[in-house]
Structure 1
Amino acid sequence: MIVLIKGNVQYPITLDPTVWIFDDRKIKLEEAFESKADKQDDYTGFQKPPVNRSISKMEGEEFLKNSYVMPLKDFINNAEPNHEAATAKLITGIEDSFETITYKNLINGYFLFSKNGKPLKEDGPVHFYYGDGSNQDNPVKYIKEIVID
């Protein structure tokens, strides 16, 4: 259930989407593709996720009902891609298949990591959604690695 970020980067990174449910940067799937004018944007860049913050019972119940995405920008920036990075391959676990996307689409994209409160065990560990939501009906599934070119 991990995802690797590697390739044309200074620091390869291993992501564990199973812990993102406790990360304040997560966004409800249905809210991720609302226009910026429709939502209140209080996110101002990289923030450390809370380490030992207590989760209320009400929050816990909400986590078990909703689907969540995680913005990719912070993770990609932490890997420090080289300046010439232009594309990325989303490597899936299906017979070495992959989808090539632009670097800009990658950093503006989202990973779905929780559907109806559950990890994506069957077709995960994550699904990729373009930031504009253009592939909401057909996200890239089974993603195991991001290789930045």
Structure 2
Amino acid sequence: MIVPMTGNVTYPITLDPTVWIFDDRKILLEDAFTEKMDENEEIDELEKAANRFNKEVFQISKPPVNRSIKRFEREKILKSSYVMPLDDFIANAEVKSDAKDVILVLKDEEVTISLPAFQNSYFLFAVDGKPLKEDGPVHLYYKDGSNKEHPIKNIGKVIIN
């Protein structure tokens, strides 16, 4: 259930979609293809991040403890489908400047897409709160929704070329 990202990168990384259900960067599938958040929402997110930083740096009275998931949130997680934006993973792998395309190694074949198309994509990793076991571990959706009805499935490895 892991997806290695290798090739023309400084740091090959291994993606583990089974833990993304607890990641705050995940996006509900039904929200992924709607309008992007407006500028005020972006400012609110930046303000929240700044407040979290200030709290952690300047108010270190007790060790940080993960916030427990409330019952409502737990039920929502177990009933929802989620995608993960790929931006942070691509940045962490540090794709080299001469990279041009991406080979997605599927169960029975390979699919080549452009690097910009890959950068503007999501990985679907959970349907109804469960990992994709039969045709997973991840599916690729373009952020513009152009392949929403026919995502690329059975992705087991990503090779940056």
Which of 82, 86, 93 does residue 96 from structure 2 map onto?
82
TM-score normalised by length of structure 1: 0.89
Match of 1:107 among 111, 119, 122: 119
Q: Quick one: structure 1 residues 38 and 135, their matched pair in 2 at CA, closer, same or farther if it must change by over 3 Å?
A: farther
Which whole-Å CA distance do the structure 1 matches of 2:37 and 2:3 have between them? 32
What's the TM-score, normalizing by structure 2?
0.82
Q: Give the C-alpha shift of residue 53 in structure 1.
A: 2.9
Unaligned ranges ≥5, structure 2: 50-63
Alignment of 1:1-149 (within 5 A): 1-36=1-36, 40-41=41-42, 52-94=66-108, 97-149=109-161
Matched with 2:61 is none
Secondary structure of the structure 2 residue equivalent to 1:78:
helix
Q: Give secondary structure in 1 for the equivalent of 2:10.
A: coil
Aligned length: 143
Q: Percent identity among equivalent residues? A: 57
Structural RMSD (CA):
2.1
How far 1:38 moved relative to its partner?
A: 7.1
Structure 1: how far apart are the matches of 2:65 and 2:96? 30
Q: CA 1:12/1:37 → structure 2, altered by over 3 Å: closer, same or farther? A: closer
Deviation at 1:106, TM superposition (A): 0.8
**Structure of larger gyration radius:** 2
Moved over 4 A (4+): 37-44
